[in-house]
Each structure stands twice: as C-alpha cells, then as structure tokens.
Amino acid sequence: MSRHLVERESNGGRTVIAGLDGGAVHLKDDQLEGLASGIGRPLLRPGVDGWAAAVMLWNADVAKAPALVVQAASAQDVAAAVSFARDNRLLLSIKGGGHNIAGTAVAEGGLMLDMSGMNAVSVDPEARLARVGPGCLLQDVDRATQEYGLATVLGFISEVGVAGLALGGGLGYLTRRFGWTVDNLEEVEIVPADGQIRTANRAENADLFWGVRGAGANLGVVTRFTFRLHAVGPIVFGGFIAWPSERTDEILRAYRTMTGDAPRELAVWLLLMQAPPEPFIPLEWQGRKICAMTVCYTGELDRVDEVLAPIRALGKPIVDLLCEQPYTQIQSYLDDGEPKGLHYYWKTEFVAALSDGLLATVVDQFAECPVPGAELGFLHLGGALNERAEDDGAVGNRNAQYVLGVNGMWEPNEPRADAYRQWIRDAWQRQRPFATGRTYINFQTADDSQERVRASYGANYARLVDIKRRYDPGNQFRVNRNVVPTAVPESG
C-alpha cells in the first residue's frame, strides 16, 4: 500500500487503512472515534506528538509506517483493538519492543497496536514467578528479578522486547541451564482473533499454550506473561575478551573444544568482527579484524579459575574485560554494538556440531568479508534445551547446539548496501550444508521464504496449522513469520 494512502482523506472525514485482502479500507471518523472512546485515549496519527516514538523501529532498514496507532493500557484495550481490526478486516501489527530484525511490529499502512505502555513487572520471590507486561524490555524484567537474585531465560540485548523474544521461543545466556525462554513460561493471558481474553497454561487452553510457546505471534496478543525464575546472580562472571584475527583458526578450534566440555553455567558467544572504536579497545586495534568472545558464567564464583581455564590458556589477548560483575551488566554488554537507527541484515542457522569443514568455511569467509560492520560467529546453546521432547511446545529445535550467524549492519544511505546483502546471502548459502536446516524464527529477515518458516518448526508445523485454524481462521495475525491456516503440503 503506497505511503500517501495512509493520510486522512480530506473529502469526507475518512481514513484509509490497509486491509487484509491487500486493498484499502475506508473508515469514517465516527468509527475511529468509537474505538478511541472505548479505550479511553485518542488514536495516534502521523505528525502528532508521540507518533515518531510509537512507530520507530530498531532496524532502520525496514522502511514502513502504519496509518494509525492504538496505544493499549489493558487487556480490555487490546481486546477492543483486535475486535475492531477483525470486524473491519484491517491489517494489524503488534509492537512490543520494536526490535525484530524483520520489522514485524509495523504493517505498511495498517493499524499498529502499541503495547509499550503495558510494562509492569511483578515478582513473587517465594513462588519464584514473575508476571510481565507485553511492553517490557529485557532490562525491565532483569532489574526487577535481580533485586531478589533471580532471573528467567531472556535474550542478551537489554533493549529487546520480552514479548517478541518469548513468542518466538527465546534464547540467551541462560538457555544452556534452563532451556528456551518458553520452557520457562508458566502461563499467558492472551487475546486471540475472536477478541476474548483467555488464560492459557498447561491445564487451561493447553493447545493454545502449546502454540504460544514458539509461534505465539500467530495466535493472538499476549497481555501478560508468567515466567518461572531461577537463582542467578546478582554477581556473575563474564565480559569481553579478544585476540588478533590471525589466530582465528586456532581460536575457533579451541572454542569447539571448550564449548563441547563446558558446564551448563557457562555460555560463550564467539564473534568475528571489526574492532569497534570504543575506549576499551586499544587504539592500534580499532578498526582491525579481531576474534572475540563474550562470556557469561553464572555458577559458583569459586570455580571461575577452573571453568575459564580453557579461555585463559589461549593467552595474549588484545583486550581482556572478564571479571566479576552484575548480571544486569552482562545482559546489556552488547547493547552498544547494535544501536537503533542503523540498517541490519542477517542470515542464521541452527548447528548441531562444529565440523572441520564448517570452521574452515567460517575462517575463509571472515578473511574475505567486505562488510565493515559484519559479525560472523556462534551463539553457544545445547544443554537443557536438548533434554525436552521435540513436541514440548511449538518451538522444537531440540538438537540445536549453536546458532551460526552472518550479520551485517551499515549506516543509512550506504551506497554498497545491495552488495553487502548479496555477500551475506552468498556466505549463508556456503554455510547451510553444515546446519540442521532450521533456524530461529526471531532471527529470520523479511525476505526469508514461507518454506523457511515451515522448516523452522519441522514436525510441529502441522499441529501449528491446526491450532492456527481454530484460533485465527482468517489469519488476522499475519504480520509475523506467518503460519498460514491452510492444509499442510505432504512434503511439509
């Protein structure tokens, strides 16, 4: 839908919004006033105060804008907005933190439901539960739970939204100890396409709860999450350490050994990158290629020397920031490396093993990489997530040991952007033979195919389609990595 159609018509008090069928829906002012009255606040239109903040996305490569924004403050507001979108067949998107690489928070010319105002966190330290609003960022939850030395499995960038992270499965430094984020989800309050507020858990609306744990954006708008908490922190051990790129082959092989033998309390991300112009990087290394690790160890601190010995044995780092520090600091350690407003393009895969062929491929790609802001590397998984059945929640992927990624970022108006994207795609194609054939839904980009979505859920996809058909037969929730409510092909 072209950008000019999102403006209010001047000849009759109507607003044009993108519809589910791809056309335009013309809404009268009194219809929108009824919605605004029902939620108790005005709708946001382009140009008004608050508009820019409401529609801003982390990935500036996604150049989309809605026609209207509803800012929800309660589950009742959400139910009203969902019902209005359904009854008028409007294209609807949901924004939590707005950090998704594919920009799924925005439907071009559509109606955006902004959840950022629903950001309360309630911690029950005795029951070890946290009730979390869908507008919360990871830092909101981590700060609240760490007051009691507790945490749940969240991501590793503090400005990511909890809702988007969790509804796609969720992974982070604690995944090795406690599984996917959704393995720690006890209950949700959710508004499906019929506009009814429901509670879903393993006993109540169990089929809906099963689907939410990995494909939740397809099934409704979650208005409250209840997470299980674990004793973590508040002081842990970790940080950043890096070596010259000339040692990449050696470091990668050591990484394979140390992560294969690591206790579950240790998670290590490996990043092949250009050293940033930060004060903690020696001046002579800034802008040069380095081989780095970000480390998070949440076990007994008196075991640090033993657990970190394989890393220390590598010797002669160009920078070593490993130390005792607050867990919340570890959780925000990589924030500055992914600032808002840049253009991002990623390709990722799950990997079950680090073969010689894969490591050699990654070494070669790093040496030839032309993208200054690129990162090639691995997120260290395995552990607890491997111990559950493949059909314990829609998330699946119980054989994942690592995430393998080729990630690029660049400034707006970069003249080589198309060439950078092509290089990333080509590098990804060279890596795919070493992968499981499935990938993390939250890391898929807008140009990933429907087949990629189907493959990511594997054998769970057919059950997902059935649940989608029951709770969202009209595919109202389609601005996502979409599970289409139609028959599954035999090959799926």
Report the distance separating Cα 445 and Cα 481, nearest Å. 9
Mean pLDDT for the stretch of residues 117-122 = 97
* Residues 339 and 435 grouped into a single domain: yes
Residue 459 lies in a domain: no
Mean pLDDT for the stretch of residues 264-287 = 94
Q: Which two tokens stand for residue 120?
A: 């309360």
pLDDT at res. 184:
98
CA distances 160 to 104, 155, 331, Å, are 13, 7, 11
* Residues 283 and 227 grouped into a single domain: no
Q: What tens digit of pLDDT does each residue of 371-422 get? A: 999 999 999 999 999 999 999 999 999 999 999 999 999 999 999 999 999 9
Q: Which of 174, 202, 231 is the last residue of a domain?
A: 231
Residue 150 lies in a domain: yes
Is pLDDT above 90 for 231?
yes
Residue 490 lies in a domain: no
How large a percentage of the chain has pLDDT more than 70?
Answer: 96
* Residues 260 and 385 grouped into a single domain: yes
Is pLDDT above 50 for 491?
no
Q: Which residues contact 88 (CB under 8 A, 6 or more apart)?
A: 17, 19, 25, 27, 31
Q: Which of 87, 114, 141 is the last residue of a domain?
A: 114
Number of domains in the chain: 3
Do 56 and 340 contact (CB within 8 A), yes or no? yes
Q: How many helices and strands, by DSSP H and E, does the chain display?
A: 15, 20
Report the distance separating Cα 257 and Cα 360, nearest Å. 15
Helices 417-431, 356-368: axis angle to 10 degrees equals: 170
Q: Which of 236, 232, 242 is nearest to 288 (CA)?
A: 242
CATH code for the domain of 189: 3.30.465.10
φ/ψ of residue 112, rounded to 5: -100, 135
Please provide the DSSP assignment of 174-211 as one string. Answer: THHHH-SGGGGEEEEEEE-TT---EEESSSSSHHHHHH
pLDDT at res. 489:
54
* CA atoms within a 13 Å half-sphere pointing along the CA-CB vector of 344: 24
Other C-beta atoms lying within 10 Å of the C-beta of residue 293: 25
pLDDT at res. 165:
98
Please give the residue range of the domain that contains residue 335: 235-443
Residue 455 lies in a domain: no
CATH code for the domain of 427: 3.40.462.20
* Residues 260 and 382 grouped into a single domain: yes
Report the distance separating Cα 199 and Cα 192, nearest Å. 11
Q: What tens digit of pLDDT does each residue of 286-318 get? A: 999 999 999 999 999 999 999 999 999 999 999
| Residue 377 identity | G
pLDDT at res. 487:
60
Report the distance separating Cα 488 and Cα 455, nearest Å. 12
Mean pLDDT for the stretch of residues 217-238 = 98
* Residues 221 and 239 grouped into a single domain: no
Residue 295 lies in a domain: yes
Q: What tens digit of pLDDT does each residue of 134-147 get? A: 999 999 999 999 99
* Residues 177 and 89 grouped into a single domain: no
Average pLDDT, the chain: 94
Q: What tens digit of pLDDT does each residue of 48-93 get? A: 999 999 999 999 999 999 999 999 999 999 999 999 999 999 999 9
Mean pLDDT for the stretch of residues 251-277 = 96
Q: Which of 406, 347, 351 is nearest to 376 (CA)?
A: 406
pLDDT at res. 207:
98
Other C-beta atoms lying within 10 Å of the C-beta of residue 56: 14
Query: If pLDDT is split at 50, 70 and 90, which confidence band does 457 have?
Result: very high
DSSP 487: P
Q: Is 342 helix (H, G, I), strand (E, B) or coil?
A: coil
Which H/E stretch holds residue 284?
A: none
Q: Which two tokens stand for residue 212?
A: 């939410």
Q: Which residues contact 20 (CB under 8 A, 6 or more apart)?
A: 89, 90, 91, 474, 475, 476, 478
* Residues 140 and 22 grouped into a single domain: no
* Residues 127 and 73 grouped into a single domain: no
Query: If pLDDT is split at 50, 70 and 90, which confidence band does 11 have?
Result: very low
Residue 293 lies in a domain: yes
Cα 171 to the center of its chain, rounded Å: 8
Mean pLDDT for the stretch of residues 450-455 = 94
CA end-to-end distance (rounded Å), the chain: 31
* Residues 99 and 170 grouped into a single domain: no
CATH code for the domain of 64: 3.30.43.10
* Residues 199 and 180 grouped into a single domain: yes
Q: Which of 231, 248, 263 is the last residue of a domain?
A: 231
Query: If pLDDT is split at 50, 70 and 90, which confidence band does 486 have?
Result: confident
Do 328 and 236 contact (CB within 8 A), yes or no? no
Residue 85 lies in a domain: yes
pLDDT at res. 14:
84
* Residues 79 and 141 grouped into a single domain: no
Query: If pLDDT is split at 50, 70 and 90, which confidence band does 492 have?
Result: very low
Q: What tens digit of pLDDT does each residue of 341-379 get? A: 999 999 999 999 999 999 999 999 999 999 999 999 999
Q: Which residues contact 429 (CB under 8 A, 6 or more apart)?
A: none
Query: If pLDDT is split at 50, 70 and 90, which confidence band does 443 have?
Result: very high
Do 104 and 95 contact (CB within 8 A), yes or no? no
Q: Between vectors from CA 136 to CA 326 and to CA 97, what angle results, nearest 5°?
A: 105
Q: Is 291 helix (H, G, I), strand (E, B) or coil?
A: strand
Report the distance separating Cα 234 and Cα 145, nearest Å. 9
Residue 402 lies in a domain: yes
Length of the chain in terms of residues written: 492
Q: Between vectors from CA 141 to CA 217 and to CA 73, what angle results, nearest 5°?
A: 60
pLDDT at res. 12:
56
Q: What tens digit of pLDDT does each residue of 160-205 get? A: 999 999 999 999 999 999 999 999 999 999 999 999 999 999 999 9
Q: Between vectors from CA 117 to CA 467 and to CA 140, what angle results, nearest 5°?
A: 90
* Residues 18 and 97 grouped into a single domain: yes
